[in-house]
Amino acid sequence: MRTNILKIATSLAFALAATSAFAHAQLEKATPPVGGTVASASEIRLEFSEGVEPKFTKVSLTGPGGAVPLAAARTEPSNQAVLIVPITKALAAGAYTVHWHAVSVDTHHTQGTFEFTVKP
């Protein structure tokens, strides 16, 4: 009985220990910062809790003049949890809204919205 319990506990421990790359991708940090104010921004950098698939992850940016064109998203070569989306034109002063829809490497979907401000 004690051996069986030990086996079950060991299996569970291994299962949980081998999990570093799989989960719902939650936004942990962003640049420009969530709710923050910046002088300018040339890219949107989203740091997730888990790796994401850039081909299936969508990011949009809207501001005072409507939708802002963005280049194709990519992840950092050394960290698949960091998504980088270049902004292809200079941002005018005003409030901007980022909407993201992420697909993690294990195909879980998450989404969110936040705002930042470009100061005059």
Partner 1 sequence: MSLIQIRSARAALSAAIAALWLTPAYPHAVCGDRIFPATLAIDDPGVQDELALPTVSWVPNNSDGAHEWDASFSWTKTITPGLSVVISDGPTWTHPGGYGWNALDTELQWQALCIPDAEFMFKVGFDISWAGTGTGVLAGSGGQNTYSPLVDGGLGFGWLPPALKYLRPFAITGEFSTSSPGQDWTGGVPNVTTFNWGFTLQYSLPYFNSQLASIDNDFLKRLVPVAEFAFQTPIHNGGPAGVTTTGYFQPGVIYEADKWQVALEAMVPMTGATGHGVGVIGQLDFYLDDIPNRIDEPIFPHGVGIAPGI
Identity of the residue, 12 or 93, whose beta carbon is nearer to partner 1 in the bound complex:
12
Rounded least distance, CB 2 to partner 1, Å: 18
CB atoms inside a 10 Å sphere around CB 98: 23
Identity of the residue, 56 or 89, whose beta carbon is nearer to partner 1 in the bound complex:
56
Residue 113 in tokens: 């919205």
In angstroms, rounded to a whole number, what is the distance separating the alpha carbons of residues 58 and 119? 26
Rounded least distance, CB 19 to partner 1, Å: 5
Identity of the residue, 21 or 71, whose beta carbon is nearer to partner 1 in the bound complex:
21
Rounded least distance, CB 114 to partner 1, Å: 5
In angstroms, rounded to a whole number, what is the distance separating the alpha carbons of residues 75 and 47? 10
In angstroms, rounded to a whole number, what is the distance separating the alpha carbons of residues 86 and 69? 9
Chain mean position to CA 45:
8
The footprint of partner 1 (CB under 8 A) covers 15-16, 18-19, 22-24, 26-30, 33-36, 49-50, 106, 108-114
